[in-house]
Amino acid sequence: MKLLVTGGCGFIGTNFIRLMLAAHPDWSIVNLDKLTYAGNCLNLLDIEKTEPRYAFVHGDICDRDLVMDLLTDNGVDAVVNFAAESHVDRSINDPSPFVTTNVGGAQNLMECARQCGIGRFVHVSTDEVYGTLGPSGKFTETTPLAPNSPYSASKAGADLMARAYFETYRFPVLITRCSNNYGPYQFPEKLIPLMYLNAKADKPLPVYGDGLNVRDWIFVDDHCRGVELTLTRGREGQVYNFGGAAEETNISVVRTLLSIVGKPESLITHVTDRPGHDKRYAMDFSLAAEELGFAPTLPFAEGLARTIAWYEANGTWLEQVQSGEYRSFMDTWYEER
């Protein structure tokens, strides 16, 4: 199978490409990534240098001509769309790029794929499209969409466009909605790598509000397997929820992290809550379990310890991301080719 993966230089896309190339010797992957601040070309450089089944293309999912060329020239069988603006706080500061990429870019990809007769299209979405829960209950695939941030609204917009493409054109799209991911290669603006870096530097750990917002955490490899199962076994037009069955308050995540890195809880600083901050997310992923055979494999404490061990072992990666050094490397590397 030949896959076009978008956003493959980001956190989840990087892990997905690494896992899929290792698991499927007969798959090849073209990775289309714009390399925004969140895209890091160093993540897959070893593979780019050594793996003939992998190719990187620097470009934008909103670019119709480029996407059409990639789909037609490469004999692509399926598309997996990870590309997105993904950070809620940034979407509060400026929603525009979120609408452009997350809605417009996703629609452009689907339209090009439809015109090229692509046989399978997985659109990667999020639990945040469902809005917020009270103290009990879980989101199912039929929970009404009620996004509360510009980020989640833009993801919901793309989900609805995907639904319309299926209903209108019988376009073979499948939608995954997953809870909070953590693991290697996550950009240090997100909770776990940010808290890790601050703790290591003995800086305050900023926790929104009372820290009692609840998220369901999933190790990134488990999410990637969910996307793989959706791609290979899912029903066209279907939405599949994925989660880690690991509900944690933000404050408990931070406390566990501090205990793993051996730093005091006095570093925790409560800061003004994020506007529109959803109180609780929890996923019912029984449909994916029944139809796809999905089950998360890693308990949260074990996954967190593994993640922190990865950050400990990859200090150079973190330094390059923090200093922006990967950007100058990227300019030279791609100019030379």
For binding to ligand NAD (CB under 6 A), which residues are involved? 6-7, 9-13, 32-36, 38-39, 60-62, 82-86, 101, 105, 124, 126, 155, 178, 180-181, 187
Q: Rank residues 17 and 21 by Cβ distance to ligand NAD and give the closer one.
A: 17
Q: Which residue has the tokens 């800061």?
A: 271
* Residue 245 zone, left/alpha/beta (φ > 0; ψ -120 to 50; rest): left
Nearest distance, CB of residue 31 and ligand NAD, angstroms = 9
Order across the sheet with 247-249: list the strands: 180-182, 214-219, 247-249
Q: Rank residues 6 and 198 by Cβ distance to ligand NAD and give the closer one.
A: 6
Nearest distance, CB of residue 102 and ligand NAD, angstroms = 7
Tokens representing 26? 């007969």
Q: Please list, in sequence order, all residues whose beta carbon lies within 8 angstroms of the beta carbon of residue 14, skipping any fewer than 6 positions away.
A: 8, 40, 43, 44, 185
Nearest distance, CB of residue 26 and ligand NAD, angstroms = 25
Sign of CA dihedral 106, 218, 281, 136: positive
Q: Are residues 125 and 177 in contact, defined by beta-carbon separation less than 8 angstroms? A: yes
Report the catalytic residues. Answer: 127-128, 151
Q: Rank residues 101 and 198 by Cβ distance to ligand NAD and give the closer one.
A: 101
Q: Rank residues 35 and 268 by Cβ distance to ligand NAD and give the closer one.
A: 35
Q: Are residues 82 and 12 in contact, defined by beta-carbon separation less than 8 angstroms? A: yes
Q: Rank residues 105 and 150 by Cβ distance to ligand NAD and give the closer one.
A: 105
Q: Are residues 322 and 244 in contact, defined by beta-carbon separation less than 8 angstroms? A: no
Q: Are residues 204 and 269 in contact, defined by beta-carbon separation less than 8 angstroms? A: yes
Nearest distance, CB of residue 63 and ligand NAD, angstroms = 8
Supply the DSSP string of 189-216, one letter for each residue: TSHHHHHHHHHHTT--EEEETTS--EEE
Residue with nearest beta carbon to ligand NAD:
10
Nearest distance, CB of residue 262 and ligand NAD, angstroms = 26
